[in-house]
Structure formats: structure tokens, C-alpha cells
Structure 1
Amino acid sequence: MVTRLKKIKTMKRPFVLAAVMLGMFLAAIEATIVATAMPSIVADLGGFSLYSWVFSAYLLTNAATVLIFGKLSDIFGRKPVFMIGITIFLTGSTLSGFSGTMTMLIISRFIQGVGAGALMPIATTIIGDIYSKEERAKIQGQLSSVWGISAVTGPLLGGLFVDVLSWRYVFWLNIPLGILAMLGIFFFFHENIEKQKRSVDYLGSVWIVISVTSLLFILVEGGIGIPWNSTEMYGLIGLAVSGLILFINQERLAVDPMMPFEIWRHRIISIANLTSLTTGMILIGVSSYLPAFVQGVMGYSATVAGFTLTTMSIGWPIAAMVGGRLLLVIGYRATSLIGGTSLIIGALLFFLLSPDKGPVWAAAGSFFIGIGMGLTNTSFIVGIQNAVGWETRGIATAANMFMRSIGSALGAALLGGLLNSRIQTFIQNKELENEVSVDTANSLLDPQQNASLSHEVKSVLQEGLTSGLHLVYMGLLVLAVISFILIYFLPKKGQE
């Protein structure tokens, strides 16, 4: 009977794997496909000053729910939590496509992010449930290919939808794919749930959401929508600090903490998580603002902007597969150092990027960033999972995803704040506050509106956007150097 069940399980595993990979594809494609469409979205809906919130909203709720969904799957099983996650994700996708204002789009992205919080961790956990340790090593290449395929097709599909159909199809594409993933899990994935009486650290999630949300508002709106020297700003700073303190205190007292601090005692975990925070900021900086540079500054189409992001997606899976082999020969630290070096090269190319360099130069920078992400991410995940036992492997992996998500959310907010501040400065220096605002930069991303701008206004906005994006890429270079320094302190081979 046991043998027969094993055979049935083995026969169904390819279908479960396909469904899981499709679910991962939904979450993975979201960053690049939306980034490519963003210039057209803001040109249609307006609200350029809210540009970064379209990304931050999604990443914030994603980061806030990833650990909770991991806990819920341990209590109620992977299947129901995965199905609920996709349902919420598809609801957010549908609403995003129907959005008539930037505010509605941001709210829809909040909903979409909640669902995405279940997709990645539960998908990874399901793979761990149905494959042995030896098989997991072999399957890693296939899982890495999801990121490669999604990131290659994401920018291309995003560009084609914008140029041929409408940016709304960028979100509606998720609906048929999500339904297929749900059907695969529903019919082919069966699990025996052993009911356990365990608590869920909801309070910890509340405090971290309050802290991170307040910090995001400070970074995005500071000096633009909310003056630095104001009661509102002081209140936000107080919320951010008090939320963090209450979160730390809650995690120390909770029976089943959302973020158990003891796992941070492993040097490889603490350094890998801190580096994931900075590399998450780098990743969102490239994905979010490269299309704006290629379209708004260089003047190319959305399809060309998508191409410049595609090269990052090609470099990532190639480096992930090569990195898996390098780990066995030179260890986690040396492999990660090579990845860190590639991040610095890519960031340096972006720092030197100018309108006359062209999209090929931008694509080269993306490619090196992709190689760096592939090598470091693979090294960190394998190193973390090898450093802990089975009973804490899930939460350790989820914690690393959490740090990368928080990094991406903070990066989108911080870099968006830098961009908005620089454009605002240019407008003030030319004394054009009564004629234009930061939101007028929308017009640079739409060919028809661009043509209607006066020469003076167009020149000021383009200079401001160019200077602001250069400041963003300067930030990427600083983050790449910090990442390399952190990687240097990883334990050496033999100490892992």
C-alpha cells in the first residue's frame, strides 16, 4: 500500500511541480512586466509623484505577509494557503487592470501583494515536501529557470502590451495563468495534514507593518508631500521607531515568533540576510527606473525599455546554475564574492549611463546585475538551508525572502524619494512652481503630451529626470559596494 502511494505521488509530482512553477512565475514576472508598463501607466493615469508607490505597495504587503503565510501553511497545510494566496493575488490583478486612478491602482497593488506573500514561500515549501534532499539539488536549476523565463518574457510582454494593446493587459495576463496553477494544485497535490496546536504571531506582523509603512511614507513623501520640519513627519518617525521597538519586544515574548532571532546567531544567516536587504534595493532600483530612463531620457519605446531589463533576466538564471556548481568547488563565500564583484560592475555601468550611451550600454549594466543576483542568491539560499536543521529551515528561508522583500520596498521608496526631490529642485531653481510640478514629468513618458510641452518646460523636466535618475544610479553603486563589504565577512570555506 505504501509503495503504491509512493508511486502515485511520484507520478503526480511533475504536475505539481508544473503548477508550483506557474505560481512562482506569477510572482516573479510581476516586477519586470509592471516596470516596463509604468511609463505608460503614469502617462494615462497621472500621478508621477506616486510612481514608486505602485512598487512599494506590492512589496510592502508581500513582505508583511510572507512569514505569516509560512506559519499558516504549517498549521492548515500548504494546499489551502496556496489556493487562498492565488485567489487574493488574482483579485488584486483584476482590480489593477480596471484602475481609473493612480490611487486605485496602488490600493489594488496592496491586495495583489498580500496574495504574492503566499506564492513564493509556499511554492518553495511544497517542493521541499515532495522531493528529497538529493532531488532538491537537481530541481534547483528548473526553479531558477522560472526567474529566467519570467524575467525574459516579462519586459517583452509588457512592452508589446503597451505598444499594441493596453497596459491593463499586463495585470489581466495573470488571470488565466493563475487559474491553471490553482487547477494543478487542486487536482494533483494531496497532503496528509497533521493538526498542530500552534499560535500565529499576528501582533508581530501588525507592528512590523506599522513600522515599515511609516518608514516608506517618510522616504517617499519627505520634503515633497510632507515637510521635514512638520508635525506629520515627527509623528511618522515616532510610529516607525515605536513600531520597530514593539516588534522586537513581541518577537522575544511570542511562543512562535514571526521572526525568531536565534537563527540570526549563525554568521552566514545574519550576513546573508543583511546583504539580501541591500541587493533587494539594487534589484528594485534597476527594475523600477531603467524603463523611465530609456523612455523618458533616451526617447526609446516601451519595447526597447523592456529589452534593457531582459538582459538582467538572462544573466540571473545562467549565474544561478553556474553558481550551484561553483558552491561545491570554491564554497559560498568565494562564489558570493564573484557575485558581489559583478554587482559593482553593473552598478558602475549605470552610474556612467548617459542619454548618448544608448540602450545597449544600459542592457550591459542589467546583465552584470543579473549575474550578481544569481550568484549571491543561490549561495545564500543553499548556505542558509545547510546551516540549520529541518525544524527551522522553512522559517530561515522565509526570513531571507522577507529581508529581500523589505529591501525592495525600502529601495523603491528611498530611490523614488531621491528622484522626486531632484526633479522638484530643478523646477524650483527655474522658478516654474506655478506652471509645472513633479507630476508633470508624466508628459515626458507620453509621445503626444511630450510634443505639446514648451521647450523650456520640456528642457527643465528632462534635465531634472536625467539628474534624478543619475542620483538613483549613484545610490545603486553605493549599495553594491556595501553588499560586497558584507559578503567579505561571510565565513570562509571550511568554517561553513
Structure 2
Amino acid sequence: MLAMFMNAIEGTIVSTAMPAIVGDLGGFSLYSWVFSSYLLMNAVTVLIYGKLSDLFGRKPILLIGIIIFLIGSVLCGFADSMHELILFRFIQGFGAGAIAPVASTIIGDIYVKQERAKVQGYLSSVWGISAVLGPALGGILVESVTWRLIFWINIPLGILSMCLLWFFLHEKIEKKKAVIDYSGAVLLTVSISSFMIILVQGGVEWQWTSAPIISLIILGVSAFACFIWQEGRTPEPMMPFEIWRERSILIANIVSLATGIMLIGFSSFLPTYVQGVMERSPTVAGFTLTAMSIGWPIASTFAGSLLMKIGFKATSLLGGGSLIFGSLLLAFMPAGAGPLYAATGSFFVGIGMGFTSTSFIVMIQSTVSWERRGIATASNMFMRNLGNTIGAAFLGGIMNSSFQAYLNQHAGNEEPLSIDAANQLLKREERALLPNDTVQLLQDGLSAALHNVYLIVLLFAALSMVFLLFVPRGSKQTDLKKKAVYKLDDK
């Protein structure tokens, strides 16, 4: 739980600080890459770490991941440009890929089925509890000290987590010959990276019909086709597609992809809207994300008992409905509504995330054996991380292209402003130096761009609800209620 706390707080604390980081380092057009670089490595490595934990045990893999994560965190705090920060976020994401899936798998290992629903609810709530502190702490550090501390705060948490794992987690592992699907990992990385570059740079740096975009599309599609072929022929695939034949796992993974896109859309861009358009402080912007973080643990805690009473389908449908309601509020949020309105929409999104994420993890771990539990859990984490990765690039591309199009449209006879002019909009002191009409133009453009982003997020919320309707009614897992005999090894 402590390792998960460190991983979870990183997301919201960075989101809150990003406007200040961009204001200091510049490069507003690279905004989404700070998230995309981290999420890309997280998404690709999560499957590798899940497989390695099945082969070598959870403890060594989790410790290695925490060490790499801490190295990346230290380097991020020393970044002097956006390009350096993006590079160091790659390293941080490479370590982060081990933390969430292996920690969740450990819970699946040490608790029997009747206990998992409740304990996975506790583990899911860590994301919410840490995120309650993250935005507020991020706002305070940015305003009072420096944004660099948001990365260095991970160091004591990581060291303490490693000490506790080293002394108190004991496991007996059957030695197996390591067969790692490195080819699959490389092909998936090439494919996802290609599509990320297309989504971020398309329509901004390169025209959609330009040679670089077309070349990247061909490369991305070819690499993904080779990845599927590779997974079908290797004896130990990075992504064992046979587990997707279970309808409950298939739907859980598809919806996790959609909710991952939604989550990065809210956490990445809501602080920018509150600070840039509403002209509020980083602390207030952090409060709007804190509301989502309050809703998440509340729902995760109740989800554990609801799964026992009404089953997976009904619990996940409650989450899907909450996601739609929260998305509706934010998609049609007027600029003058104020941060309390934004926080209300954020709260209902958190409720939805809590119900769905807890339901999916328990459902998946109740479906597979120990030998597949690591990779099955990792596959669901992968889909959510992949959604984060796609969302950061896709929604970042929508924001950039929409913002630039608005500025071009309203330039009149003058040279149109670049979207990098928003760097000044996000710092109170520099915003005060801009002419009023320029501030108004930038705020209107940013507001229009971010509303487009949240309309897309609403669409994904609706699609998630449609898929949740097809969760099998039998997914209640009656053996959660019935008495059963478990081998000592299984516990």
C-alpha cells in the first residue's frame, strides 16, 4: 500500500504543478509529452513486470521497480528544460510499471477469495487517499517553495516502502526457466510510440497528410500486426490473448482502456483550466482534483461490500453512471462557474473510478489461477495505462490543434499568436503584463480547446457504459459467498 501510495501521488501532484512547470521551463506545446513519456514506459513495461513476477516472485520485481522509479524522480527534480524533464519521465515511468500490477497481485496472493474484495477496495482507495494529499501538497509546494520538490518527495516514501517489503514480505517461489517475450515488448513499444507521436504532432507540427504522419501510421500498424503475430507463436507471450476469451475479462479490459483515457483527461487538463481560464491559484486548482480523489476511496470502500451483495455487473454499472454524470458536468462547464462546480464534476468521476476499478481487479483475480494472476492483473493495468498513454497524446493533440485553430481564426490582420503564448497565461505575474485583449483571447481559446477535450471524454464515458451492460450476470462469482476449501499453498 505504501508503494502504491508513492506511485499514485505522483500523478495528481504533477498534474497540479504542470502549469507552474510550463511557466518556468516554457514549451506549452510539449505539455502533454510530460505525461505521455511517463505513461508510455508505464504501459509497455507493466506486462513485462507482470510476467517477471510470475517467474521470479513479486518481491524482487517490485523492489527493482521502486529503485528505478526513485532514480527517475531524482533526475526529474534537476530538469532545466522541458526536453530534459520528458527524458527523465521516461526513466520514472520505466520503474512505475512494476508498482501497481505487482502490488495488486500480492494482495491476490496473500488473501483468499472471500477477503480479496474488501482488501482490494483498501488498495484501490490508496489511489484516492494519496490523491487527496497530492493536489493540495502540489499547490502548496509550487506556491511556497519550488515545483522540484514534487518529485523529490518520493524518495523517503520509496525507501521506507523498500525496507518494509524487504523485511516483512516472504514468499516461496518455484524456480522456473525464464522465457521473456522481448520481441513482443519492442514491437509494442514501437507501435504505441508511433501512434503517440501522430496524435500529439498531427495538425500542429505536421499536416495530417504529410510524409512523416503517413510513415508513422504505416510503421505503427505494421508493428502492431507483428506484435499480434508474435504473441500467437511464442510459448510465453507478453500478452496471453487466451485470457481475453473470458467475456468478463475482455469487457473489464476494454472499459479500463476507456476509463484510462478519461482519467488522464481530467487529471491533466482540469488544473490548466482552473488556473488559466478561471485565474485561480495552484492550490485551488489542486482542490478540484482532490474532489475526485475523495470520491475514489469512498466508492472503493463501498465496492468491496457491494460486490458481495449485488455482484460485479450492478456495482460496475453504478460506476459507469457516475462517470457519465461527472463528465456531463465538466463538458458543459461555463468559464464563470467557479472551482466548486469543477470539483463537483470531479467528485462524481472519482466515484465512478472507485466502483469500476475495484470491481475489475477482483473479478479478474477470481477468474485465473496463481500462475496467470500476475499477467492477468497486469493486462488490466496495461489497458488502463494504455488508455492513459493514448489519452495524454490524443487529448493533448486535440487541445493543441483546437487552441491553435482558435488563435488563427481570431488573429484578424495580425500575425496569429502561438499556443506557447499560454506559458504567460499560466503564471499570475506574467499574465498581469499582457494586454487585456490578449489575455481574453488566450483564455477564450484555451476554454474552447479544453471544452473539446471534455466532450471527447464524455463520449468515452458513454462507450464505457455500453460495454458494462454486457458484463455477464454470472460474474457475481457465487463462490465469494459460499464456503470453500483452499489449499494452504493458495492462501
TM-score under structure 1 length normalisation? 0.93
Residue 404 of structure 1 corresponds to 384
| 2:328 matches 1:348 | yes
Range moving further from structure 2, 400-409 or 450-459 = 450-459
Give the CA deviation at 1:228: 1.2
| 2:369 matches 1:395 | no
| 2:303 matches 1:293 | no
Tell me if the contact between 1:330 and 1:493 (Cα under 8 Å) persists in the aligned partners: no
Tell me if the contact between 1:316 and 1:371 (Cα under 8 Å) persists in the aligned partners: yes
Give the CA deviation at 1:148: 2.2
The one-letter amino acid of 1:111's match is I
The one-letter amino acid of 1:317's match is P
Residue 257 of structure 1 corresponds to 237
| 2:204 matches 1:224 | yes
Q: Give the alignment's Cα RMSD to 1 decimal.
A: 1.5
Give the CA deviation at 1:434: 4.1
| 2:436 matches 1:455 | yes
| 2:54 matches 1:83 | no
Distance, in Å, in 1 between the alignment partners of 2:109 and 2:373 is 12
Give the CA deviation at 1:384: 1.6
| 2:469 matches 1:488 | yes
Sort the Cα spacing of 1:327 and 1:131 in 2 relative to 1 into closer, same or farther, 3 A: closer
Residue 322 of structure 1 corresponds to 302
Give the CA deviation at 1:243: 1.0
Tell me if the contact between 1:36 and 1:291 (Cα under 8 Å) persists in the aligned partners: yes
Residue 312 of structure 1 corresponds to 292
Aligned residues: 476
Sort the Cα spacing of 1:190 and 1:324 in 2 relative to 1 into closer, same or farther, 3 A: closer
Residue 189 of structure 1 corresponds to 169
Tell me if the contact between 2:320 and 2:352 (Cα under 8 Å) persists in the aligned partners: yes
Residue 480 of structure 2 corresponds to none
| 2:126 matches 1:149 | no
Residue 468 of structure 1 corresponds to 449
> 5+ unaligned residues in a row in structure 1: which ranges?
1-20
Give the CA deviation at 1:205: 0.8
Select 1:478's aligned residue among 445, 459, 464. Answer: 459
TM-score under structure 2 length normalisation? 0.94
Residue 362 of structure 2 corresponds to 382
Q: Percent identity?
A: 58
| 2:399 matches 1:441 | no
Give the CA deviation at 1:138: 4.1
Alignment deviations for residues 301-346 of structure 1 (CA, whole Å, 9 cap, x no partner)? 0000111101111111111121221122221111111111111100
Give the CA deviation at 1:196: 0.5
The one-letter amino acid of 2:346's match is S
Tell me if the contact between 2:108 and 2:365 (Cα under 8 Å) persists in the aligned partners: no
Give the CA deviation at 1:120: 1.1
Give the CA deviation at 1:493: 4.1
The one-letter amino acid of 1:56's match is S
Tell me if the contact between 2:311 and 2:476 (Cα under 8 Å) persists in the aligned partners: no
Range moving further from structure 2, 208-217 or 384-393 = 384-393
Distance, in Å, in 1 between the alignment partners of 2:476 and 2:24 is 55
| 2:321 matches 1:338 | no
Distance, in Å, in 2 between the alignment partners of 1:201 and 1:365 is 42
Alignment deviations for residues 244-281 of structure 1 (CA, whole Å, 9 cap, x no partner)? 10100000011100111111111111111101100111
Sort the Cα spacing of 1:343 and 1:180 in 2 relative to 1 into closer, same or farther, 3 A: same
Tell me if the contact between 2:117 and 2:362 (Cα under 8 Å) persists in the aligned partners: no
Tell me if the contact between 2:192 and 2:220 (Cα under 8 Å) persists in the aligned partners: yes
Alignment deviations for residues 218-260 of structure 1 (CA, whole Å, 9 cap, x no partner)? 1111010122121111111011101110100000011100111
Distance, in Å, in 1 between the alignment partners of 2:185 and 2:301 is 34
